[in-house]
Structure 1
Amino acid sequence: MAPLFTVRIQLLLLQAVGFLIGLVGQAVRAFGGPRFSSRTTRPVTEPLLLLSGVQLAKLIRQRKVKCIDVVQAYINRIKDVNSMINGIVMYRFEAAKKEAHAVDKKLAENQEDEATLEKKWPFLGVPLTVKEAFQLKGMPNSSGLVSRRNAISKTDATVVALLKEAGAIPLGITNCSELCMWYESSNKIYGRSNNPYDLQRIVGGSSGGEGCTLAAACSVIGVGSDIGGSIRMPAFFNGIFGHKPSPGVVPNKGQFPMAMGAQEQFQCTGPMCRYAEDLAPMLRVMAGPGIKKLKLNDKVNLKDLKFYWMEHDGGSYLMSKVDQDLILAQKKVVAHLETMLGVSVQHVKLKQMKYSFQLWVTMMSAKGHDGKEPVKFVDLLGDHGKPIKPLWELIKWCLGLSVHTIPSIGLALLEEKLKYNYEKYRKFKAVEESLHKELTEMLGDDGIFLYPSHPTVAPKHHVPLTRPFNFAYTGIFNALGLPVTQCPLGLNAKGLPLGIQVVAGPFNDHLTLAVAQYLEKSFGGWVCPGKF
């Protein structure tokens, strides 16, 4: 146990450093940023904005609604509230309107029946937004790195191309954290995104701009990526749905930074949306040929499933305690399943979950099959040129001269402490394999595991710097390679979104998606901000 004890001491020291950096960040930036007269964004008044992507596509195919009217409604909404949330960081409104007119013209000239049109274009005319880390032709692809501010995409990422081929119309690109490695979406190019339910709170990261854009009804479907919770945390903080697929199903090609070596198995591209019924159709399109690995055509009878739940990670010294609001919400789900479905939801204690952060960071620092170490964060910050000097960047940041955010500088400072160590890797790899075996055997092909999406509801800006390891509540399932859907569960007494992670065994994504639709019907799903 001596090596584990040593790791524990190191991590406590790192958390102390993070806490101090967080205090500095809050103190220095406390009086910065915009001030708004309202705490939330304005509520939706246009009915077209309250329909799912599937519903919109159907109305457009049936020629009951013009595509240009749908697109214009979303453009109007964006112009109305995006200045408050700073979710979309670059528009393509004129191109989107031209594409909408082209859809209407095609439908006027095309006499094919609706079923044929649906097969060709399942998302015909549906507004789409894309995380800036993904290539969208003609749009920036910087991932918030100042040295890449002029990097313009010449092509589309694979999933973006597939969604466009399915008829979706991109309205713009959305904000992310610098290099997609932090759970508050802020960078030196586009600034900070704000939560539509409370503008003084975070949107999560790294797909945070996408999360708040969808939650504020500025888009209906979106593209995110997830290597430690970057789809699920923003989905949770913003009260929407987000799905991390089983690894190797949806192509990751066309995003920056791209995971390399051993990290590739952790990175997943997936759908984000306001309505659960859009998840499976989006996944079908985004996966391309990879969809054959899943069983989305299988009918799911929820009464035949085995359910398990766990209210926290078992008491890790690195993590915040889980909010009582979130525990109560989870218990309501358990009670509802038992009462309405007549199933037994078994409470479990997976003791090794308390090592979630250690397992994630150990796997992320592992060497690839070719023996090469993963790309260092200091190299990525230098855009694969000259690596940055973290201590010097910290000094520059204190003077207001650094082009990097304090989370990125902090991660670079901590990187040396978290570098690959064979003995640490060997011990935690054994823990990971044991936990993976325990969970997969428990879940089988008919099990669902309910687990918190995060220890707290959306924190205020800068607070994540004081609790840097809380992301491990989502990151653990990247390390374990399991499919997960984050599902909204309404709002707490302060009007902030509640939610839960729904986990299944490998390649059983159809189970979590079915549960997501059931929970949406039972608990209301997305709640329009501004109405609380």
Structure 2
Amino acid sequence: MAFASPTSVIEATAGVDDAESLCYWPLWRLTQALQTQALSAQTLLDACEAAFKRDHETVHALVIHDHAAARAEACRIDAARRAGEALGPLAGIPFSIKESFDVAGWPTTCGDSAHAHNIADQDAAVITRLRRAGAVLLGKSNVPLHLRDWQSHNAVYGTTRNPHAPTRTPGGSSGGSAAAVCAGMSVFDVGSDIGSSLRNPAHYCGIFSHKSTHGLISLAGHGIRSDDPTPDINVAGPLARSAKDLEILLRVLAQDGRELRAPRPVQLDHCRIGVLSSHPFAPVDSEVSTVIESLARRLEQSGAKVTMQSMPSIEAEELWRTYVLMLRAATSMYMNDSAYAQAQERARECDPHDLSYATLQHVGTVLDHRAWLQLAQARRRFARAWDDYFQWYDVLLCPAAATPAFELNQAGEPWQRMLSVNGRPQPMTTQLFWAGFSGLCGLPSTVAPAGLSTEGLPVGVQIIAGHGEDLTSLRVAQWLEDLGYCYRPPRMRRQ
């Protein structure tokens, strides 16, 4: 088994030519250079555009882009900085945004050609906050059709590929987001997550992401003509090349009036860590579980109090059923009448005892209100179990997905595809268990690089903290980064 060797984040992003490596620097390092005027916003933009031109044909992450407008904004910021004007904390930092977020004057399609002419008339809430902080928008990053896949391909924009291994997935639905950040095309991106859509892309691409506590970041302006700031289960969050970057971005993105609690442990040797590297209900490939177990041992050697195979008192099958039903109920509002009628017909034919995703998705789509309220009651019980768990632990480490990045496979529907897990076929949808594990109850979850598979592919770890404890999971990710578990530029650029 190969692992990321301990090294600093600056060493990991350094290249033969510093100008070429600039596009891989973390946000925190870039903001320091911009604020001291050791670097100009225009130079940084040039580095990101060069990365885009170099790898766009292969990676295809930014499917909408306007470098000319971004350059004009970078020029304005440089002039304001030279004049000594007060600027926002992200002034001059180029970023991209998931295609499903509205940008005034740009299309929002969610990968559906039926929405190709859906032009937004105003920015999504997160865009407003980022512009106010001085960040410079470069473009939109690719998504799967209706944001429902662990790959990012659609008939409108085509296929996004993993920068580390172009025959493999970058994840989904924020796959274009992770690929753009990984390849140096943007410094950070903001995606959404209802079914691991921030977490699996970070895991597959070897970067950091943060699924925020439900409601902490507004989702107004996300999806097709949606103004709901806190839709059920779904959340927004940043993707970046450093855990420090995630905290900087979270402080900008958090809705007004939403305070961030101080992290629980003040140092690593005070941290109580539970670890669940796999589960019989949703087995994880040894390429992932072994990396997480090795990471746990490293944390224990560094002084943390680690308990292996630990989890809250929640029955896995009940959690799975509740999560999938509520997930599909939450997304049913985006269906047209014809698709909803088809789901009603299929649900009538379903076996009520069938726990397969293929069945539950239809049942969940057409839930009546009484059934939804019963599930909500179960969710509250799960939330209490998590509260009890976090009386004894500060965080829980677990997988973000069942395997490292898999070979691109666009045949059929996502729920009809299989993964090879420990040499056995597993429905691709089974790994949704690791999404709902924390997502159903709205808990924060940070994904950080944890090592490499035997093939040299990135493997991430999901760090779950208690409700509202976003800075606790981020603090643990920062400690991992200090121990050398950090972003590394794509292999295809380092070869």
Establish whether TM, by shorter chain, passes 0.5: yes
Name 1:456's counterpart in structure 2.
403
Name 1:17's counterpart in structure 2.
none
Name 2:466's counterpart in structure 1.
505
Alignment match of 1:337 (pick from 299, 316, 328): 299
8 Å CA contact 1:357–1:472 kept in 2: the answer is yes
Partner Cα distance (1:126, 1:85) in 2: 22
CA gap 1:257/1:235 in 2 versus in 1, 3 angstroms: farther
Counterpart amino acid of residue 67 in structure 2 = F
CA gap 1:502/1:342 in 2 versus in 1, 3 angstroms: closer
Secondary structure (helix, strand or coil) at the match of 1:376 reads helix
Deviations 1:413-469 (A, max 9, x none): 952576326787577556544433222211139611111111111111127522223
CA RMSD, 1 decimal: 2.9
1:302 aligns with 2:263: no
CA gap 1:418/1:140 in 2 versus in 1, 3 angstroms: closer
Counterpart amino acid of residue 331 in structure 1 = E
1:61 aligns with 2:72: no
CA gap 1:356/1:182 in 2 versus in 1, 3 angstroms: farther
Partner Cα distance (1:136, 1:266) in 2: 23
1:376 aligns with 2:332: yes
Name 1:25's counterpart in structure 2.
none
List aligned pairs for 1:473-492, cutoff 5 A.
473-492=434-453
How far 1:160 sits from its partner (Å)?
Answer: 1.0
How far 1:263 sits from its partner (Å)?
Answer: 8.2
How far 1:476 sits from its partner (Å)?
Answer: 2.6
8 Å CA contact 2:107–2:120 kept in 1: the answer is yes
Partner Cα distance (2:102, 2:342) in 1: 28
Secondary structure (helix, strand or coil) at the match of 2:448 reads strand
Alignment match of 1:353 (pick from 316, 333, 354): 316
CA gap 1:44/1:424 in 2 versus in 1, 3 angstroms: farther
Secondary structure (helix, strand or coil) at the match of 1:271 reads strand
Partner Cα distance (1:261, 1:105) in 2: 37
Partner Cα distance (1:495, 1:527) in 2: 12
Using structure 1 for the length normalisation, give the TM-score.
0.78
Counterpart amino acid of residue 326 in structure 2 = M
Counterpart amino acid of residue 109 in structure 1 = A
Deviations 1:192-233 (A, max 9, x none): 111111111111111110011111111111110111111111
How far 1:262 sits from its partner (Å)?
Answer: 12
Alignment match of 1:181 (pick from 136, 148, 160): 148
Using structure 2 for the length normalisation, give the TM-score.
0.83
Name 2:50's counterpart in structure 1.
76
How far 1:490 sits from its partner (Å)?
Answer: 2.8
Partner Cα distance (1:338, 1:387) in 2: 51
Name 2:389's counterpart in structure 1.
442
1:126 aligns with 2:93: yes
Secondary structure (helix, strand or coil) at the match of 1:81 reads helix
Name 2:326's counterpart in structure 1.
363
8 Å CA contact 2:177–2:189 kept in 1: the answer is yes
Name 1:396's counterpart in structure 2.
none
Secondary structure (helix, strand or coil) at the match of 1:223 reads strand
Partner Cα distance (1:512, 1:183) in 2: 24
Partner Cα distance (1:153, 1:258) in 2: 8
Name 2:429's counterpart in structure 1.
468
Secondary structure (helix, strand or coil) at the match of 1:468 reads helix
How far 1:352 sits from its partner (Å)?
Answer: 1.5
Partner Cα distance (1:235, 1:411) in 2: 26
CA gap 1:489/1:188 in 2 versus in 1, 3 angstroms: same
CA gap 1:424/1:352 in 2 versus in 1, 3 angstroms: farther
How far 1:68 sits from its partner (Å)?
Answer: 0.5
Deviations 1:104-147 (A, max 9, x none): 1111222x6xxxx4xx4111101100001001222221111111
Name 2:289's counterpart in structure 1.
327
Among the aligned pairs, what percent are the same residue? 26
How far 1:470 sits from its partner (Å)?
Answer: 1.7
Name 2:64's counterpart in structure 1.
90
Counterpart amino acid of residue 461 in structure 1 = L
8 Å CA contact 2:97–2:177 kept in 1: the answer is yes
Task: State how many pairs are aligned.
Answer: 449
Partner Cα distance (1:173, 1:202) in 2: 18
Name 2:489's counterpart in structure 1.
528
8 Å CA contact 2:220–2:226 kept in 1: the answer is no
CA gap 1:262/1:513 in 2 versus in 1, 3 angstroms: closer
Partner Cα distance (1:520, 1:217) in 2: 19
Partner Cα distance (1:476, 1:97) in 2: 42
Counterpart amino acid of residue 195 in structure 1 = N
Deviations 1:351-396 (A, max 9, x none): 5134443121222355xxxxxxx5637xx354xx7548869xxxxx
List aligned pairs for 1:146-157, cutoff 5 A.
146-157=113-124
1:203 aligns with 2:170: yes
1:420 aligns with 2:367: yes
How far 1:77 sits from its partner (Å)?
Answer: 0.7
How far 1:257 sits from its partner (Å)?
Answer: 4.0
1:275 aligns with 2:242: yes
List aligned pairs for 1:159-238, cutoff 5 A.
159-238=126-205
Partner Cα distance (1:289, 1:163) in 2: 13
Partner Cα distance (1:152, 1:328) in 2: 46
Residue ranges of structure 1 left out of the alignment (5+ in a row) = 1-42, 367-373, 392-409
8 Å CA contact 2:214–2:230 kept in 1: the answer is no
Name 2:253's counterpart in structure 1.
286
Moved more, 430-439 or 136-145: 430-439
Deviations 1:134-187 (A, max 9, x none): 012222211111111122222211111111111111111000111212222111
Partner Cα distance (2:439, 2:403) in 1: 20
Partner Cα distance (1:445, 1:344) in 2: 11
8 Å CA contact 1:131–1:209 kept in 2: the answer is yes
8 Å CA contact 2:291–2:452 kept in 1: the answer is no
CA gap 1:422/1:103 in 2 versus in 1, 3 angstroms: closer
Secondary structure (helix, strand or coil) at the match of 1:333 reads helix
8 Å CA contact 1:232–1:453 kept in 2: the answer is yes
